[in-house]
Amino acid sequence: MRSIHTLLLIGINLAMAQNALAQQPTLAPIPTRVSVEQDSAKKSDIIDGQWVAIGIKKPNAIQYDYTNLFNGKPSYRFSLEEEDNTLADYGGKGTKGRAELSYAYATHDDFKNLPERTYHDDLIMKGVYLHGKGMVPQGSSDNYTFSFYLPADFPSNTNTIFAQWHGMPDRTVVTPPGGKATKLSVDDFVELCKRMTFKNDRGYDKIKSINENVVYKVADKPNGWRVEQGGYPPLAFGFSDGYFYIKANSESSWMTDNSDRTNANVKRTPIMQPLKSVYKASTIAYKLPFEDFPKGQWITFNVDVTWSTYGREAQTITKPGKLDIQMIYTDNGKVVKIHIVDNQQILIGRNDDNGYYFKFGIYRLGSSTVPVSYNLAGFSQRIN
């Protein structure tokens, strides 16, 4: 028979264990945010040695989730509420919301061996992240793995991207009024920005102000100049119109035409039949009815992509790309591995000098305000 002393020790240890468990956080907010195009990341901004957070800065937007572990570690939980669309949609006609982790960013150390003015110029060109980590080059062949957890009660009527590969537009490519697109030197672009500012892809004159506290004011109407702003993500995983979908986009023009809205409709466009304009192509590489998508469990995507190669000023596609995707999950205890895109030739990428970078989280668009929440984890990237 155990002594009273032994029983007391057991009781104390049990109470301590229960207290430690009670103190274990269930959700821990990730508070920092970085504008990767116009800001370098501080050490305190870097998450798990590989990410920085972007988007709305609310405690519940991006969190560590200790209740839904992945390989024994907390996963990332992303959430947007109804009122969390803080950005204007394309053309300013709607709204979108963002809470994501970006794999690409630069730090102060990335600039320490560069000329002193480099960081200043990159702020103007929105190219700070081009000196950092995470970018894969044009025309490269790359492998990505990440895992996704969709709750069983996730709403079917949302419009959200949970993983995307983004282009890195070169803002020194400009078009003067009535002229042709041309690539300026860094010095010439910085000099141009002394007399005008760019909102999205449109230029606006800077007008000297009579107010001593303000150097200039911005004209109300655009001046006819355009700057390379980028367009649709070259590759995206998401939900829309009652489907899970994977979409590939291609842009071969030297200067993106944002008035060209060539963008395959998930519901109406057949798989692997690209919707095309003169310079754009948009392809639904895969889609699955929402009710058939596995929920309440971790799903791993293994993605191999070879990016298309483009002809720069010639505005041509010199070599198409390829896409291969496997989706892995369990069903009644058995591992299911489906080759959802089987090494298909596809148009995928952008005609930029720079490459691409990965983000995952919530990118809610199309003025959707349906509250969304899900988890992501397990990312890796390899350039083959």
254-297 pLDDT, tens digit per residue, is 999 888 989 999 999 999 999 999 999 999 999 999 999 999 99
If pLDDT is split at 50, 70 and 90, which confidence band does 25 have?
A: confident
Distance in angstroms (rounded) separating the CA atoms of residues 321 and 249: 11
Percent of the chain topping pLDDT 90: 84
Least confident of 2-11, 54-63, 65-74, 362-371: 2-11
Q: pTM of the entire structure?
A: 0.91
For the segment 304-322, the average pLDDT, to the nearest whole number, is 96
CA distance 162 to 265: 17
Residue 92, SS3 per DSSP: helix
Average pLDDT, rounded, for the chain: 92
Confidence of residue 48 (pLDDT cuts 50, 70, 90): very high
- Supply the pLDDT for residue 320: 97
Cα(294)–Cα(262) distance, rounded to whole angstroms? 30
Report which DSSP code applies to 20.
H
Can you give the pLDDT at residue 94? 83
The SS3 assignment for 147 reads strand
Residue 21: predicted pLDDT: 42
Domains of the chain: 28-170+230-383 (2.60.120.200), 174-227 (3.10.540.20)
Q: 199-247 pLDDT, tens per residue?
A: 989 999 999 876 666 678 899 999 999 999 999 999 999 999 999 999 9
Q: What is the pLDDT of residues 68-92, one digit of tens each?
A: 999 999 999 999 999 999 988 766 6
pLDDT at 217: 86
**How much is the average pLDDT of 10-31?**
65
Q: Which residues pair with 51 in a beta bridge?
A: 47
